[in-house]
Structure formats: C-alpha cells, structure tokens
Amino acid sequence: MGNTRVFTQPFVVVGMIIEKDGKFLLVQEAQKERGKWNQPAGWLDLGEDIIEGARREAKEETGLDVEIIGLLGIYPLLKFHNDILHHAIKFIFAAKSLSDKISFDKKELLDAKWFSLDEVRALGENLRDVDIIKEIKDFQESKFNSFDILKPITDSRKL
C-alpha cells in the first residue's frame, strides 16, 4: 500500500482512546507536529478494514494488545497545518489495554504516557487535536456505538 498523503480532499484517520485504570494513553509525535500529544492514530490504508486499521495503528504506535470495546464515534476535524486546510474524518474506537508493556519506534514517537482527563486538558497547545478531549469525555460517559454501524468492505471486483 502506498504512503502518498493527499491533503486537498478529506482523508480517513483511524485511532483509539485506550484506557487503563482511569487514565488514557497518548503518544508524543516525533515527526509531523513534533512534540504534540495525540491518541494512537493514523491514516487508513487503501483496502484496509476500519477496525483492523485502528488495531494496526494502536499496535504500531504503542506495542500494546488491546480489547476494542466499541466505536466512540466519527469525528470530522478541520484544522490548518502549514497554511493548508486539512479535513480528517476520524473513526475513533474505545479500547482497554490488555498489557502494561508499551513499546514504540523512537523515530516516530518521542514518548507515550498515561494521562487523566484533567492532565490532557492541561496539555493545552501541546495537544495535537482538541477533539481528543471530547473523545475521552465520550469514553468516560460510555458513549460507545455498536460495530454494526460499520459494514464490511464491498469489493466491486467480486460482485
């Protein structure tokens, strides 16, 4: 799958809010938006299932095994970066960590830490996207959606 990123149209991001003992895991970016804290997330690959894409991103960025417990929601996000308007459509899942051993690629991330909601709020400008606060609040309020809303990929070559 190609890594070409096109920002002149909306793009799909998959990610997770991962909880353990009342805290939420954030990762600190080492590349784009260096130093900013983000939830484990990334672009959906061409032909990839949305749930599997979110699971892949979480594993790549944290090394953790997680139990996905629901779809938190679809969070459209508009933001300017380097004077270019980006329009992400974020599919964010709720997950529980099944292990304690966090590992990550030090070329991609500077750090990974557990935060309370108040600590996330206190990050202010160091938070990559403000919608992360809403996503954590939705998690705390158990606003989980059924996976039934996500339909399997339809491959027209197989019709």
The neighbouring-strand residues paired with 84 are: 81
Query: pLDDT higher for 1 or 64?
Result: 64
The neighbouring-strand residues paired with 93 are: 16, 71
Architecture of domain 11-158: Alpha-Beta Complex (3.90)
Listed by start position, the domains of the chain span: 11-158
Residue pLDDT, tens place only, 36-86: 999 999 999 999 999 999 999 999 999 998 999 999 999 999 988 788 888
pLDDT at 138: 97
Backbone angles phi, psi at 127, to 5 degrees: -90, 130
Q: Within 88-148, where are the H helices?
A: 117-122, 131-140
Buried b (16+ CB within 10 A) or exposed e, 65-104: ebebebbbbebeeeeeeeeeebebebbbbbbebeeeebeb
DSSP classification of residue 49: -
Q: Round the average pLDDT of the chain to a whole number and report it.
A: 91
Residue 106 near residue 63, CB atoms below 8 Å: no
CA distances (Å), origin 3, targets 6, 43, 44, 45, 46: 10, 9, 10, 8, 10
Residue 118 near residue 22, CB atoms below 8 Å: no
